[in-house]
Structure 1
Amino acid sequence: MKSIWSIFKNYIIPIAVGLAIALLIKTYAFSLVKVDGSSMYPNLQNTERVSMIKFLEPKRDNVVVFKAYGVDPRAIDPKILYVKRVIGVPGDTVQYTKSGELLVNNKVVKQDFISKDAQKQGTLQPINKEKTGFDLKSLSKGSEWNSGSVTTVPKGKYFVMGDNREVSNDSRYWGFVPKDKIQGVVKLLPWQNHHEEINR
């Protein structure tokens, strides 16, 4: 009888506690996510695994993971996740000029996490073939948004874009990401490539 209790106390209980702690961490604090696609290239690669911190509040320039189902009309799988960069938080105005400058609340954002070519050619095309620039009002008149003419990011929502602007399927096409869809903020370890561009 004593040996059974000893086994239970020394092995079963520690294993059960360890599994419970691991489950709590995965559910509420931290998990790994696999990047699918090239929308965040060159800062994140297709099939790359990245850390996602679940309790962090999304801020401008953060890279976030969110459930695309119910956000992007073409995302028909309830489990599909998108990885994009936060450009505008609730209350922000977002504007892109024909010269390739991003303005948030009428202030120029450096965007040093992507190339000048991606800032201009990549961002203005294909969403803006005339290369005249855009703002939230002009984007929200598109057929996918169906939300009238908004001029600021609504309360509880975020405007996101991929770093590989030329191919990224993002807020320019389908609108804002509700906060309750965001799963967490991506963070890279110091020795991982492009950690400075991701860990904003």
Structure 2
Amino acid sequence: MNFALILFVLSVVTGILYALDVFKFRKLRAADAAQPLWVAWGADFFPVILLVFVLRSFLFEPFKIPSGSMIPTLLVGDFILVNKFTYGIRLPVLNTKIIALNAPKRGDVMVFRYPEDPSLDYIKRVVGLPGDTVAYVNKKLSINGNPVPAQNLPDYQHGERLYYSQQFSEKLGETEHRFLTDADAPAYIQGVDFFPHRENCTYNASGVICKVPPGHYFMMGDNRDNSRDSRAWGFVPEQNIVGKAFFIWLNFNDFGRIGAFK
């Protein structure tokens, strides 16, 4: 569902009703006359709908985490806020950038439209920038030939289940974060698609090496053996960027997670 388009249409329709009422029909009504239904249920909602449209399109947009691909950073059920202007001002609905601001950095947690189905929003971590060579071989990450050091942490327990993953800490750019791997998961990348610029990637039994094309980004989930990401479906074009995730504002299962991520 294209919620931005729905909000845009509602803003236009209620805006027209509002303008008709203010500039024409309100002047024709008697001072003590009751408002017609089209005013009460249409024009009067215009300021509220317009405010929501502007806030959601240009400032902040809420998202709910639907999967475990970003564990341990983000959990299923987390409600997060996404900064829509960090990477530039874009026209709503068209998503065309009109004012360039900051570029994504390695380590950013970014929301973007899934390249294979732009109607879906995905969230992953920026690992590779345009021009980078990203290698994920034998579950070890390196960028431009430089291994990314990982420090061992205590194993991560998934909720209340007796299921544990290996947990590590690493630093991408200025961002230090945790990630998980499963000892029994294979190193090779499963279910690889035929995506644009696939010729930039080399796959073997040990993993994958990709050269990120200009204007694209290489994304990975922090739950690395349980995330389908750029390793399988390719690069994220710049025009698919939605914004930078920065805050957990609610989790009905754990109120202590509010504000746990930035």
**Contact 1:50–1:187 (8 Å) recurs in 2:** yes
CA distance in 1, matches of 2:187, 2:193: 12
CA distance in 1, matches of 2:248, 2:218: 26
Q: RMSD of the alignment, in Å?
A: 3.3
**Contact 2:62–2:82 (8 Å) recurs in 1:** yes
Give the corresponding residue for 1:113: 177
**Contact 2:137–2:187 (8 Å) recurs in 1:** no
Give the corresponding residue for 1:173: 232
Structure 2 segments unaligned to the other structure (5+ residues): 1-29, 34-42, 88-103, 150-169, 171-175, 202-209, 250-254
Give the corresponding residue for 1:144: 194
Cα displacement string for residues 42-77 of structure 1 (whole angstroms, at most 9, x for unaligned residues): 211112110011111322111111111xx24xx5xx
Cα displacement string for residues 113-172 of structure 1 (whole angstroms, at most 9, x for unaligned residues): 224x52x748xx44517xxxxxxxxx9xx5533632355211111100111111111011
Closer/same/farther in 2, CA of residues 18 and 26 from structure 1, 3 Å limit: same
Aligned residues: 169
Give the corresponding residue for 1:81: 121
The runs of 4+ residues in structure 1 deviating greater than 4 Å are 1-4, 13-19, 189-192
Structure 1 segments unaligned to the other structure (5+ residues): 5-12, 130-138
Among 14, 35, 45, which residue is 2:75 paired with?
45
Instruction: Specify which structure has the higher proportion of strand.
Output: 2
- Matched to 2:71, the amino acid is Y
SS in 2 for 1:56: coil
**Contact 2:217–2:238 (8 Å) recurs in 1:** yes
Closer/same/farther in 2, CA of residues 145 and 189 from structure 1, 3 Å limit: closer
Q: TM-score, normalised by structure 1?
A: 0.68
Q: How does 1:24-103 map to 2 (within 5 A)?
A: 24-57=54-87, 58-68=104-114, 71-72=115-116, 75=117, 78-98=118-138, 100-103=139-142
Determine which structure has greater relative contact order: mean sequence separation of CA pairs < 8 Å that are 6+ residues apart, divided by chain length. Answer: 1
CA distance in 2, matches of 1:149, 1:79: 26
Larger radius of gyration: 2
Closer/same/farther in 2, CA of residues 159 and 46 from structure 1, 3 Å limit: same
SS in 2 for 1:27: helix
Give the corresponding residue for 2:152: none
Q: TM-score, normalised by structure 2?
A: 0.54
